[in-house]
Amino acid sequence: MHPVVPYVLAAVLFGIGLYGVLVRRNLLLVLMAVELMLNAVNLILVTADVSTVGVPRSGSVFALFVIVLAAAEVGVGLALILQLYRLRQTVAVDRVDTGEAEPGGDR
């Protein structure tokens, strides 16, 4: 297979993930979009590792680190989303209050 195909596929996956991060209002769907972006990066790392000749194989090691990072991100992200839902009864991004005082308002 020509190495351009995985690069284009990774660019499409990253674009879909970026669209999901920018447009979605549900935190769980935003977390899934970030995971899609991380998988696109993994695809690029592995493709670059396989397609280069004469260079030490380090793309797979970096891909493994990204997978570990993604697993930790899912664990922490889901814990934060569950705690936010318990406190606010919503996981919508636009309805989450940061708790900061508004300018000119007394809280």
Q: What is the pLDDT of residues 48-95, one digit of tens each?
A: 888 887 777 788 888 999 999 999 999 999 999 899 889 888 888 887
**Which residues lie below 8 Å from residue 19, measured CB to CB, with a gap of 6+?**
33
Amino acid in position 44: I
Is 100 inside a domain boundary? no
pTM: 0.81
54 domain residue, yes or no: yes
φ, ψ of residue 26 in degrees (nearest 5): -90, 130
33 inside domain = yes
Other CB atoms within 10 Å distance of the CB of residue 44: 20
Confidence tier at 96 by pLDDT (50, 70, 90): confident
Three-class SS state of 26 = strand
- pLDDT for 98 equals 67
Number of domains within the chain: 1
* pLDDT tens, residue by residue, 26-35: 989 999 999 9
Residue 24 has pLDDT above 80, yes or no: yes
pLDDT at 65: 93
- Distance (Å, rounded) from C-alpha 106 to C-alpha 4? 57
Helix (H, G, I), strand (E, B) or coil at 92: strand
The domain in which residue 51 lies consists of 3-94
- Report if residue 99 sits inside a domain: no
